[in-house]
Amino acid sequence: MWWIGATFIALLIAVPLAVVVVTLFEAPSDVWREVVGYGVLGTYVKGTLIMLLGTGLLASVFGIGAAWAVTVWEFPGRRFFSLALMFPMAIPTYVEAYAYDFAKYELRDPLMLWIRERFGAEAMSDANGIFNYVLAIFVMALVLYPYIYIAARIGFAEISGAYIENSRLLGRSLWRSLFSVGLPLARPAIIGGLLLVLLEVMNEYGAMLHYGIETLTIGIFNQWYDWKDTDSAIRLAGVAMLVVFAIIVAEMVLRGRSRFHAHHGARRNLAEKPKTAFGTSMAFGFCASLLFFAFLLPLWQLLKLARYGIEKVQVGELLQPVFGSLSMAVLAGLVILIAALFLAYAARIFPGLAMQLLSKMCMLGYALPGAVVVIAMLSSVAAISGLMADDALTTILFTATPIGLVMAYAVRFMTPALAPLEAGMAGIHRSMDEASRILGRSSWGSFFRIHLPLLRLPLLGALIVLFVDILKELPLTLVLSPPNVETLATQTFGLMHKEERLAEGSLPALILVLSGCAGVIILHRLIRRPLRA
């Protein structure tokens, strides 16, 4: 039963992704050979790797550091920070990039002029490129670290305070305990969060174009839009997907048989948080400056622009999509979450390789640029509807209802749901399953009585990430929506990115970001025992 259900869900998600894999085995087009001949493939891979490495590292430092600080230290505003540090992920990357444009005009350009004066025009051109890489990594890490932060918070919260206390009794500082206790025990969760960050970096398009950085995703769009070679675009996407699959499987193998259990029986928080002046001010300083650079400063920039834009737009109209966007994000988020729960539980009760690979396959959609998911989705639906006598399938899926859009979201966003749930499952000791079985409960019974309650935190984390991701989502929403649907994200994209009316666009951007934050707060409150350390 579980096996069949999980296979069905996995197939639904894997079919569009299989379209991508299949093209890898077809003969390459002339365009592909030509493009590879120019050596651009190497450029794309280089750009992608630099961004992956830089953003992955910086986002880890931000995310893990912040999570550890709010978990083990007591400092003024700790409860506020523990919630507010999630907010930056409500800002779409390209909006954060626009908000940081002041760094280009007020910092970079004067610096470049000085470099040209001192070292010449070529040096300026090179320095400009390096500056753009640094700024892009910084900006990406600022909006993406919350994925790691949330995962690490959950990971740390599942660790019994006793472990940390023991570590301190052994004479280790809290800082050293992070490396000896926190990181090893929370590793599955943190890796899950890091995976999300890396995949987000892989598929980023707008910000890369903004900074002139060439990545595989930029290459995919070049193939598709410029060379009109959809096959090569998908082939390149397939290359990107293989890289990601390798990362996921490598992680799975590395984790191997070693299992870390959270010791639920003795779960309690740190009895007493130490209050050394130095530790407290460090923790506060870290969290405050992170929140400042990731959220408050960009918000201030948007507000500055909004001051000019407010006269030119009808704010009432901009508010119209708020309810529709928020409810769509929650609805689609729950659908995906339920599917992910099914997959994660099936992978637990059937620990064989086939089921493991099946659930990992479903995670690949997150690595692809949304636009590639669009092509894959459209071509698989076209193929299926071609088999049917009356091809009303596309009408049902895309014109009359948003069902097709929700399915596309599921293909795209299975990872943010599955990764935390798998990490959470890994933290539940197998002896619990066995005990439940011995007591005569069915697998359904064990699921509802044992696993679901223990997965509360991962479920909460997954729902928050899904909600924000769907709220910000663009390419799928734009192409696969029924007509006349305007969401907060498409509205912002239209004014800010397409029309480049930044002052006017800052208003829907602010509405989008604040709605996202409000949603995060509400979701956080809904679960009775929220993420309070």
Partner 1 sequence: MNQPFRVPFSLAFLAIAAGFLLTNVAIASEVNVYTHRHYEADDALYAKFTEQTGIKVNVVKASADALLERIKAEGKNSPADVLITADAGRLVRARAAGVLQPATSAKLAAQVPQNMRDADNYWCAFTVRARVLIYSKQRVKPSELDCYEDLAQSKWKGRIVARSSSNIYNQSLLASIVAAAGMEKAAGWARAVRDNMARPPEGSDRDQIRAVAAGIADVAIANTYYVGLLANSPNPEDRAVVGKIGVFFPNQNGRGAHINVSGGGVVKSAPNRNNAIKLLEFLTGPEAQASFPVTTYEYPLDISGTQSKLLRSWGEFKADTLPLQTLGEKNADAVRIFARAGWK
Structure token digits, residue 436: 């439940």
Q: For residues 301-330, which are near partner 1 according to CB under 8 A? A: 305, 308-309, 311-312, 323-324, 327-328, 330
Binding of partner 1 at residue 242 (CB under 8 A)? no
Cα dist from 416 to 54, 59, 231, 366, whole Å: 21, 16, 28, 8
Nearest residue (CB) to partner 1, 26 versus 34: 34
Site string for partner 1, 107-126 (x = CB under 8 A): --x--xx-------xx-xx-
Structure token digits, residue 325: 């966007």
Closest separation in Å from C-beta 365 to partner 1: 17
- Residue 352: its H or E element: none
Closest separation in Å from C-beta 339 to partner 1: 14
Helix (H, G, I), strand (E, B) or coil at 227: coil
Distance CA 202, CA 196 (A): 10
Closest separation in Å from C-beta 118 to partner 1: 15
Binding of partner 1 at residue 464 (CB under 8 A)? no
Closest separation in Å from C-beta 209 to partner 1: 7
The label of the residue with tokens 């961004």 reads 51
Binding of partner 1 at residue 501 (CB under 8 A)? yes
Closest separation in Å from C-beta 458 to partner 1: 13
Q: Which residue from 161, 183, 172 is spatially nearest to 64, judged by alpha carbons?
A: 183
Distance CA 59, CA 298 (A): 17
238-260 as b/e: b if 16+ CB within 10 A: bbbbebbbebbeebeeeeeeeeb
Binding of partner 1 at residue 212 (CB under 8 A)? yes
> Which of 22, 53, 76, 226: binder of partner 1 (CB under 8 A)?
226
Q: Judge contact between 481 and 401, C-beta under 8 A.
A: no
Binding of partner 1 at residue 401 (CB under 8 A)? yes
Residue 9 burial (C-beta neighbours within 10 Å; 0-12, 13-18, 19+):
buried
User: Could you count the other beta carbons within 10 Å of the beta carbon of residue 76?
Assistant: 12
Nearest residue (CB) to partner 1, 49 versus 522: 522
Binding of partner 1 at residue 77 (CB under 8 A)? no
* Window contacting partner 1 (CB under 8 A); options: 78-86, 161-169, 356-364, 490-498: 490-498
Closest separation in Å from C-beta 36 to partner 1: 11
Closest separation in Å from C-beta 386 to partner 1: 8
User: Could you count the other beta carbons within 10 Å of the beta carbon of residue 2?
Assistant: 18
> Which of 41, 322, 334, 357: binder of partner 1 (CB under 8 A)?
334
Q: For residues 82-111, which are near partner 1 according to CB under 8 A? A: 105, 109
| Rg (the chain; Cα; Å) | 24
Nearest residue (CB) to partner 1, 272 versus 311: 311
Closest separation in Å from C-beta 46 to partner 1: 13
> Which of 11, 107, 303, 392: binder of partner 1 (CB under 8 A)?
392
